[in-house]
Structure 1
Amino acid sequence: MKTMTTAVLASLALAGCSRETAAPAGEATATTVQANAQFAKTLPLADAQGFEDAQRGLVARPTGKILAADGSVITDFDAFHFVAGDAPPTVNPSLWRHAKLNAQAGLFKVVDGVYQLRGFDLGNMTLIEGRTGWIVVDALTCRETAAAALAFARRQLGDKPVTALLFSHSHIDHFGGALGVLTPEQVRGGVPVVASAGFMEEATSENVLVGTAMGRRSYYQFGKNLERSARGMVDTGLGKGVGYGSFGVLAPTDLITQPTEERVLDGVRFVFHNVPGAEAPAEMTFSVPALKLYGGAENLAQTMHNLLPVRGAKVRDALRWAGYMQQALDQLGDAEVYVGQHNWPIWGHERIAEFITKHRDVYKYTHDQTVRLINAGLTPNEIADQIRLPASLQGYFGTRGYYGDLRHNVKAVYQFYLGAYDGNPAHLDPLPPVEMARRYVALAGGADKAVAAAQQAFDQGDYRWAVELLNHVVFADAGNRAARELLARSYDQLGYAAEAATWRNSYLTAAAELRGGAPKQGTSRAAFLDMLVQTPIERFLEAMAAGLDGPAAEGKDFKINLVLTDTKESYALWIENAVLHFRRAEPAADANATMTLTKTFFVRMMAGTAGAKDMLTSDEIKVTGSRIDLLRFLGLMDKAPGTFPIVTR
């Protein structure tokens, strides 16, 4: 399926309307302006209900900035003040409306005894008043934003202690700020930390194995390096921006393992529902019957969600997700207020039931119609261009594609069942991208002719085809400045028309990198140290194995002992057939070398904050056997910096 704006752009391109060669880089072309204007006519953008909900109960608004220890800005509360008034020509009008709703940052009273902090980070921190203090639902992404949000609430509501911490699910924007809410000593002193079964394993594993690539791709999804402006990043769909600070986690002291379990926390009765394997591998929703409150975690948000994020992840199960939505309807009881861990609340039982019903049917319709067309023999791209939601779902703001996108979700359903291969043997063994690009450019008669054809497509507003042509030219010759700039301008227009914030951010980040190059620095694993020390050592050894340079390891037969003094663990690591293996075992007598160190120092080595020099000189590590062999062994491990190019090669 095409979104409405993409469909409008396509129809305008087919009609051959407008000539855009004079439009300078960064401005919306006449085709894009016209497409966005036509899009605005298809939705009741003046509907005030969302704005009433997003502003309801405001207690106070924050100002200024949240800073990291090095003085860098994590959150700037003034950065999105430009998101006001009518949509500019460079932003899809539906996304602009959503961005204005997400821009309502502050402390809000939801009902008596329940408050939310929104706009401090990508997610929300929900405070539920207990008998003696605050029960905190979710700790945001990083220590800095969590501490700032909690301090802001205490200034407005009084300096009450945190008497329980709940993690709704295992994604870092909901637990990474745990150490800004509670200390390990407070937890050891009896403050409960509640999460669902599997939380710790999932929370600590997602970013270890493919975290480098996922982190690099997240810059596209969240528009991390884009300027905050009407020509840059305006929203993420789930909130205004991610808090890139210091990440940590606290191990739960109380796990919800059954489908439904009750707890009394600081005098408040909670009913928890364990809902794994939809939006997150470990997730739980909850209700507080005395307050007629239902908390939907992130299975519900004021947007269609992702079945497969742009940044990458394991594909999510649309059918299970829809099933959980039916369960939520059955569990809703007499709830009169819904709170989510993104976006804004909903009041009124009928409105909440409608909200859940629409989400249920979006995921079920996406699943069922994709499967129907799979069985009719259509490929992922064909299905994505064909499926349209029914009018009853298209017209509902709460499930529009601001974060997820129907076309991307269709491809995720296909991948969930059949994989990425579409069944056509022509796609079994395609040429690598650069080689394919060179041959296509040669077939077109050279780069100049390909760029001329792309310019013609751009002039006609056919930006998807322009991107297809120019992508080949740039992959064939990354130094072709004319092709890079025209490709960047094409991405500009696709971004300006995109309703999904994730697609807009991806297009505009691509344009920025074509003009300025890939980032010089990737996401530093040093920021994750507080979280990584909680990660089982096996995850790091799996990451080591996945980082082994196979060709360089061919013919090598190193065996290394790893002894961790603080956790009393011992592992044997060995290379066989250019594969790194490990098992828990006592130190082998025939090993080339033995490393004896603490887990914390080993994690620092894996995170890149301790290198070979530290290994040779530090008092925190003891090496017996051949240091030379140990260095050769460690030298076979790739240390990817996470700055690889994406739109060039």
Structure 2
Amino acid sequence: MFLNGLWNRILRGVVAFTLVTALLLTTPTKVLAATYEPNYPDRYMGGPANLATAQNGAIVYDKTLEATENNIYTEPYVDELKDEFGNGIGIWVIGGESMVNCIVIEAPLGLIVYETGSSGEDGERFREVIESQISTKPIKAIIYSHSHYAFGAGAMVDDPDSVEVIGHPKLKETVENMVGEAPSAIPELSPILTARKAVQFNNYLPAEGQDAAIAAKLEYKEKAYLPVTYEVEDSEKRDVAGLTLEFFTKYISDDYSVTVWIPEKKAVLNNFFWPGTPNLYSLRGALYRDPQQLIGGLKVIQGLEPTYLISNHARAISGKTQAAEALSNYVDLIALTYDQTLRGILQGLGPDELRYFIYKPQHLADSDYNAEIYGETPWYPPAVFYYQMGWYDRNPTKIFQLPPQETAQRLVALMGGRDAVVAAAQLALDDNEYAWAAQLIDYIYELDPKDAEARTIRANALRKMGQLSMGSIGRAWLLSEARALEGKERIQKLIPPDLDTIAEDPTTYVNYHRVRIDPRKAEPIDKVITFTFSDLDNKTVGLHIRRGVAEFIREPANYNRPSDIEVSLTSETWAKLYLNRTTLPLAIILGNAEVLTGTDDDAVEILNLFDKFNPVGNLFTVPPVGPIPD
């Protein structure tokens, strides 16, 4: 029996060795090295590519550098638009001072401003440029294209009552739903979106050096928002500061948007024609961006036949023919991307297969204004798939697939163990196969994110991919992660709202608190806790902790059972509790909270059922290699 078993094992080994040897001998090396899709950007796998150095020392793909300078204002500049005879038409574009352009229009009664920036600081810079380089006439009207850049207006005028603020009917609601963070379809998740936004907009990249940003940085500064005083409707014509403007609001770009047509100047101001490939999906996460809405908004602009195509991010285009050609290629690229994605889905392709399915006709690929300097085409098709189909790609093996750590553990063992995988990843890196090196080393990193060799290989691979990235978004994500792995940055997993934002609307954050309950801790608990805000006329809301679930109670007086625990506190105290900047016992000692019903211990027990913001435990995406800073 023993000899039979031994013989069987030997025989199986010989067969396996023979099969592997035959495979290696009959499979061309080139096929083993490059079996990826023909549309895959092979520069990430050792394909030909040239790097260049930007003025700030950034090492970047040379095509990216050239296309970026062609599409956006990379340095502070006031672009005065002129007619065919070289005469100014009374429109200026202030570029390179912020993430967004500020457009200034001279009207008979004063100035009209389109876009104000992300903060009061942006508004101050725009105002300084206007007064020193454009005109000292008063600003009579401010127009918001959409909610993203409505936060510099207050710094641009001395008296808010002296200016008309024009915006979309949905802008007020959108700004309110931001609650100090990134807009979200699920507001409870805004802290995650805010943190991802910080990565995407270069907040973890230096101003100079090889990792420097090549696009503007979104800095979190104090806002100077002025509410809309006049909401425009679609196709509405209106006299603004003595100049006739026509407004279009029907279509959505990345937000509810206002397009402005100035018939007298044949100029259109818009948030639909972006610099580079239309960003139909954002890596930071966002609401679904409907390509047909974008096309609709661009078709409106095409129908106006503008001589001046002025966008809030791109360089202005002057010339009717030039504008028409740019718009046509842009619209066709969106239509191609969307329709070919649907074609691929109809062929049965899943999200991973769709990424490199789309072929671009040469004239669309070569158009200056279609360059992938922001987002990149492979990211868009999966977003359409997920919007309609969700996560399931029709591969049944994924219905109950193993968790990532279990998968990594088994694959690493199958590949010969940790050292063998590290060696293979390093070899791939040495062969300039950066994408493969990153994918391989990810299995080791999944098992031990503090493994020094794994972190180094992962950082080196991601840095190379970031330098070769065509779009600024991909570059920001890849380089930021590389720097975090090296201990040069600490990337926040989430950025909660600030204390003042929570204190302004504490009941909303009592509601949001419900999603942080730990069902294991709360499984035996069935109690109602209410919070009475002493500084808000004793406004009371509550949470019913019901055996693992926390239900928000908007009106406890009308709820089906009385409160077991009632806590009286100020809005600021709740904000500090929410952010884990104080404890209930300390707040009670300081006189900022009082337990009116139940005991102090009862209240503490309930609050301890919820996750707390913890810099060490849940704040950083990459485990820090050193001590956590204060």
Residue pairs, 1:373-522, within 5 angstroms = 373-516=344-487, 519=490
Q: How many residue pairs end up in the alignment? A: 569
After superposition, what is the alpha-carbon deviation per residue over 1:609-648, rounded to whole angstroms, capped at 9, x for unaligned?
7764785467877764345544444444434457332599
1:201, distance to aligned residue in structure 2 (A) = 2.6
Once residues 539 and 89 of structure 2 are traced to their aligned partners in structure 1, the CA distance between those partners, rounded to angstroms, is 50
User: Is 1:201 the counterpart of 2:169 in the alignment?
Assistant: no
Check whether the contact 1:563–1:594 (CA below 8 A) recurs between aligned residues: no
Check whether the contact 1:107–1:153 (CA below 8 A) recurs between aligned residues: no
Q: 2:105: which partner in 1?
A: 128
Compared CA separation, residues 418 and 471, structure 1 to 2 (3 A): same
Q: 1:180: which partner in 2?
A: 155
Q: 1:228: which partner in 2?
A: 207
Q: 1:72: which partner in 2?
A: none
After superposition, what is the alpha-carbon deviation per residue over 1:19-62, rounded to whole angstroms, capped at 9, x for unaligned?
xxxxxxxxxxx99897224x99xxxxxxxxxxxxxxxxxxxxxx
Check whether the contact 1:32–1:496 (CA below 8 A) recurs between aligned residues: no
**Which of 260, 266, 273 is the aligned partner of 1:286?**
260
User: Is 1:645 the counterpart of 2:621 in the alignment?
Assistant: yes
Check whether the contact 2:120–2:154 (CA below 8 A) recurs between aligned residues: yes
Residue pairs, 1:225-624, within 5 angstroms = 225-229=204-208, 231-236=210-215, 240-247=216-223, 249-256=225-232, 258-280=233-255, 282-297=256-271, 299-330=272-303, 332-333=304-305, 335-516=306-487, 519=490, 525=496, 529=500, 539-556=508-525, 557-563=527-533, 566=536, 570-585=540-555, 587=557, 590-594=562-566, 606=578, 612=584, 615-616=587-588, 624=596
Which range moved further: 202-211 or 457-466? 202-211
Letter in structure 1 aligned against 2:166: V
Check whether the contact 1:593–1:623 (CA below 8 A) recurs between aligned residues: yes
1:529, distance to aligned residue in structure 2 (A) = 4.3
1:233, distance to aligned residue in structure 2 (A) = 3.0
Q: 2:116: which partner in 1?
A: 139
Compared CA separation, residues 542 and 277, structure 1 to 2 (3 A): farther
Compared CA separation, residues 221 and 571, structure 1 to 2 (3 A): same
Letter in structure 2 aligned against 1:175: A
Once residues 161 and 611 of structure 1 are traced to their aligned partners in structure 2, the CA distance between those partners, rounded to angstroms, is 51
1:145, distance to aligned residue in structure 2 (A) = 2.3
Residue pairs, 1:45-56, within 5 angstroms = none
Check whether the contact 2:449–2:623 (CA below 8 A) recurs between aligned residues: no
Question: SS of the residue aligned with 1:386?
Answer: coil
Which range moved further: 342-351 or 564-573? 564-573
Check whether the contact 2:499–2:575 (CA below 8 A) recurs between aligned residues: no
1:367, distance to aligned residue in structure 2 (A) = 0.8
1:401, distance to aligned residue in structure 2 (A) = 1.3
Letter in structure 2 aligned against 1:405: E
1:406, distance to aligned residue in structure 2 (A) = 0.5
Once residues 108 and 147 of structure 2 are traced to their aligned partners in structure 1, the CA distance between those partners, rounded to angstroms, is 28
Compared CA separation, residues 346 and 489, structure 1 to 2 (3 A): same
Question: SS of the residue aligned with 1:262?
Answer: strand
Compared CA separation, residues 524 and 316, structure 1 to 2 (3 A): closer
Residue pairs, 1:31-50, within 5 angstroms = 35-37=48-50
1:604, distance to aligned residue in structure 2 (A) = 6.6
Once residues 132 and 418 of structure 2 are traced to their aligned partners in structure 1, the CA distance between those partners, rounded to angstroms, is 62
Check whether the contact 1:553–1:636 (CA below 8 A) recurs between aligned residues: yes
1:424, distance to aligned residue in structure 2 (A) = 0.8
Letter in structure 2 aligned against 1:261: E
Which range moved further: 367-376 or 135-144? 135-144
Compared CA separation, residues 591 and 141, structure 1 to 2 (3 A): same
Once residues 564 and 131 of structure 1 are traced to their aligned partners in structure 2, the CA distance between those partners, rounded to angstroms, is 52
Q: 1:97: which partner in 2?
A: 66
Once residues 106 and 483 of structure 1 are traced to their aligned partners in structure 2, the CA distance between those partners, rounded to angstroms, is 44
Check whether the contact 2:44–2:435 (CA below 8 A) recurs between aligned residues: no
Once residues 141 and 607 of structure 2 are traced to their aligned partners in structure 1, the CA distance between those partners, rounded to angstroms, is 43
1:570, distance to aligned residue in structure 2 (A) = 4.8
Which range moved further: 611-620 or 107-116? 611-620
Check whether the contact 2:118–2:223 (CA below 8 A) recurs between aligned residues: yes
After superposition, what is the alpha-carbon deviation per residue over 1:487-532, rounded to whole angstroms, capped at 9, x for unaligned?
21111221121111111221111211221176176776566846x7
Check whether the contact 1:80–1:228 (CA below 8 A) recurs between aligned residues: no
Compared CA separation, residues 579 and 132, structure 1 to 2 (3 A): farther
Q: What is the aligned-residue RMSD (CA, Å)?
A: 3.6
Compared CA separation, residues 33 and 422, structure 1 to 2 (3 A): closer
1:482, distance to aligned residue in structure 2 (A) = 1.9
Instruction: Between the two structures, name the one with larger relative contact order (CA 8 Å, sep ≥ 6).
Output: 1
Check whether the contact 2:308–2:316 (CA below 8 A) recurs between aligned residues: yes
Once residues 30 and 609 of structure 2 are traced to their aligned partners in structure 1, the CA distance between those partners, rounded to angstroms, is 51
Check whether the contact 2:531–2:540 (CA below 8 A) recurs between aligned residues: yes
Compared CA separation, residues 157 and 593, structure 1 to 2 (3 A): farther
Once residues 146 and 80 of structure 1 are traced to their aligned partners in structure 2, the CA distance between those partners, rounded to angstroms, is 28
Check whether the contact 1:567–1:599 (CA below 8 A) recurs between aligned residues: no
After superposition, what is the alpha-carbon deviation per residue over 1:579-613, rounded to whole angstroms, capped at 9, x for unaligned?
33234326469324555667677567656677647
1:365, distance to aligned residue in structure 2 (A) = 0.7
Identity across the alignment (%) = 22
Once residues 13 and 491 of structure 1 are traced to their aligned partners in structure 2, the CA distance between those partners, rounded to angstroms, is 24
Question: SS of the residue aligned with 1:368?
Answer: helix
1:288, distance to aligned residue in structure 2 (A) = 1.7
Compared CA separation, residues 568 and 457, structure 1 to 2 (3 A): same
Compared CA separation, residues 306 and 636, structure 1 to 2 (3 A): farther
Once residues 301 and 533 of structure 1 are traced to their aligned partners in structure 2, the CA distance between those partners, rounded to angstroms, is 37
In structure 2, runs of 5+ residues without a counterpart are 1-28, 35-42, 82-87, 626-630
Letter in structure 2 aligned against 1:220: V
Q: 2:5: which partner in 1?
A: none
Question: SS of the residue aligned with 1:194?
Answer: strand
Check whether the contact 1:245–1:527 (CA below 8 A) recurs between aligned residues: no
Check whether the contact 1:132–1:163 (CA below 8 A) recurs between aligned residues: yes
Letter in structure 1 aligned against 2:545: I
Once residues 586 and 136 of structure 2 are traced to their aligned partners in structure 1, the CA distance between those partners, rounded to angstroms, is 44
Question: SS of the residue aligned with 2:79?
Answer: strand
In structure 1, runs of 5+ residues without a counterpart are 1-11, 18-29, 41-78
TM, length-normalised to structure 1: 0.78
Check whether the contact 1:123–1:341 (CA below 8 A) recurs between aligned residues: yes
Once residues 494 and 331 of structure 2 are traced to their aligned partners in structure 1, the CA distance between those partners, rounded to angstroms, is 35
Once residues 514 and 451 of structure 1 are traced to their aligned partners in structure 2, the CA distance between those partners, rounded to angstroms, is 16
Compared CA separation, residues 33 and 379, structure 1 to 2 (3 A): closer
Check whether the contact 1:336–1:347 (CA below 8 A) recurs between aligned residues: yes
TM, length-normalised to structure 2: 0.80
1:315, distance to aligned residue in structure 2 (A) = 2.2
Once residues 553 and 461 of structure 2 are traced to their aligned partners in structure 1, the CA distance between those partners, rounded to angstroms, is 51
Check whether the contact 1:402–1:501 (CA below 8 A) recurs between aligned residues: yes
Once residues 182 and 597 of structure 1 are traced to their aligned partners in structure 2, the CA distance between those partners, rounded to angstroms, is 38
Quick check: which has more Rg, 1 or 2?
2
Once residues 239 and 94 of structure 2 are traced to their aligned partners in structure 1, the CA distance between those partners, rounded to angstroms, is 23
Check whether the contact 2:372–2:471 (CA below 8 A) recurs between aligned residues: yes
Q: 2:628: which partner in 1?
A: none
After superposition, what is the alpha-carbon deviation per residue over 1:157-194, rounded to whole angstroms, capped at 9, x for unaligned?
454443322221123xx1233443357xx44x363322
Question: SS of the residue aligned with 1:295?
Answer: strand
1:149, distance to aligned residue in structure 2 (A) = 2.3
1:372, distance to aligned residue in structure 2 (A) = 0.6
1:573, distance to aligned residue in structure 2 (A) = 3.3
Compared CA separation, residues 466 and 200, structure 1 to 2 (3 A): same
Check whether the contact 1:318–1:413 (CA below 8 A) recurs between aligned residues: no
